[in-house]
Amino acid sequence: APAVAVDVADMAVSILAHDRPVAANPDFDPHRPGIPVLREMDDETRAAYIAKNPDYGVIVCRCEEISRGEILDALRSNVCVPTVDGVKKRVRPGMGRCQGGYCETRITEMIEQEKHLAPEEVRYSKRDSYIFTGKVRNVK
């Protein structure tokens, strides 16, 4: 795959060069920071993260010890994961003993708030895999 990426980059440069000058960006950083994994940190390091961002101190997934901060990092990433399954694959909430029974609704609410979606717009994974399709009863 790396060799294919080099070829694709060369093709993009040659196509773009027809319309405008193309030059390397000296400020480009090819390494994106990963999402911190608090459950693997020692107490002192974890406390420092929580002091910087209190969301790291709010546990959303009890089984896998995943914090609200870690999930928000995944949702705010340059390579966003705006589905419940995408968050699950990126930071592991819902992979533990309860299989998401405890945390899945909280993750859904976080996606709604972070991406400004209505509950019916939040997807589990693929294009038409909506979690909610409407209200079961009229509640006032």
Write out pLDDT tens, residues 38-50.
Answer: 999 999 999 999 9
pLDDT at residue number 135: 74
Q: Is residue 61 within 8 Å of residue 101, measured between CB atoms?
A: no
Write out pLDDT tens, residues 126-137.
Answer: 888 888 877 777
**How many angstroms separate the CA atoms of 99 and 85, rounded?**
12
> Reduced to 3 states, what is the DSSP secondary structure of residue 83?
coil
What average pLDDT does the chain have?
91
* pTM for this entry: 0.76
